[in-house]
Chain A
Amino acid sequence: GQNIDQPTEMTATEGAIVQINCTYQTSGFNGLFWYQQHAGEAPTFLSYNVLDGLEEKGRFSSFLSRSKGYSYLLLKELQMKDSASYLCAVRDLGVGTGGFKTIFGAGTRLFVKA
Chain B
Amino acid sequence: DGGITQSPKYLFRKEGQNVTLSCEQNLNHDAMYWYRQDPGQGLRLIYYSQIVNDFQKGDIAEGYSVSREKKESFPLTVTSAQKNPTAFYLCASFSRQTNTEAFFGQGTRLTVV
Q: Which residues of A contact B (CB under 8 A)?
A: 30-31, 33, 40-45, 48, 87, 89, 91, 97-107, 109
Complex CA gap A41/B90 in Å reads 10
Cβ of A87: which chain B residues have Cβ within 8 Å of it? 42-43
Q: Which residues of B contact A (CB under 8 A)?
A: 31, 33, 35, 40-45, 48, 50, 54-56, 58-59, 88, 90, 92, 94, 96, 99-107, 109
A98 with B50: CB separation less than 8 A: yes
A107 with B42: CB separation less than 8 A: yes
A45 and chain B: residue at smallest CB distance: B101
B102 with A102: CB separation less than 8 A: yes
Complex CA gap A42/B33 in Å reads 14
Interface of A is mostly: strand
A103 with B45: CB separation less than 8 A: yes
B59 and chain A: residue at smallest CB distance: A103
Cβ contact of B56, chosen from A43, A99, A104, A107, cutoff 8 A: A99
Known contacts A42-B105, A43-B104; A30 and B50 CB within 8 A of each other? no
Cβ of B106: which chain A residues have Cβ within 8 Å of it? 41-42
Shortest Cβ distance from residue A100 to the other chain B in the assembled complex, whole angstroms: 6
Complex CA gap A102/B90 in Å reads 13
Cβ of A45: which chain B residues have Cβ within 8 Å of it? 101-103
Cβ of B109: which chain A residues have Cβ within 8 Å of it? 40
A42 with B54: CB separation less than 8 A: no
Complex CA gap A45/B56 in Å reads 24
Q: List 20 A-B contacts (CB under 8 A).
A: A31-B99, A33-B101, A42-B104, A42-B106, A42-B107, A44-B104, A45-B101, A89-B43, A98-B48, A98-B56, A100-B50, A100-B96, A100-B99, A101-B48, A102-B45, A102-B92, A104-B35, A104-B45, A106-B41, A106-B42
Shortest Cβ distance from residue A14 to the other chain B in the assembled complex, whole angstroms: 24
Cβ of B41: which chain A residues have Cβ within 8 Å of it? 106-107
Complex CA gap A30/B99 in Å reads 9
